[in-house]
Amino acid sequence: MRSIRSDTHSRRAHLAGEYGEGAPDAADARLRELIRERLTEDPDIDASNVIIDVADAQVRLSGSVRDARTRDIIEQCVENCGAKTVRNELSVS
């Protein structure tokens, strides 16, 4: 009979092997891609000058947009994609 500790250890080892050490980076890359896809789906949003940095599901937006409304829409989109926090540094030009 296996102990609870060894079962837990086996599960952790399995998960570590399945997701690897780069799992947070992969999740961040998926989040960045999801955000980019959502922004390009909306024909009213020009996000071509928007830079999206993601680290630990925390998103930093930089670059420029044409107006404050677009800046706010982009921030809301990022929040809806599952970002933990959004640091909106977009400038209006």
User: What residue ranges define each of the domains in the chain, with the CATH number in brackets?
Assistant: 23-92 (3.30.1340)
Give the pLDDT band (50/70/90) at residue 4: very low
Q: Is 35 in contact with 64 (CB distance < 8 Å)?
A: no
Percent of the chain with pLDDT over 90: 72
Encoded tokens for 15: 């998960």
Q: What is the DSSP-derived secondary structure letter of residue 1?
A: -
Question: Higher confidence at residue 51 or residue 9?
Answer: 51
Bridge partners (DSSP) of residue 67 are none
What secondary structure letter does DSSP report for 13? H
pLDDT digits (tens, 9 = 90+) for 19-50: 444 567 999 999 999 999 999 998 989 999 99
Model pTM score? 0.73
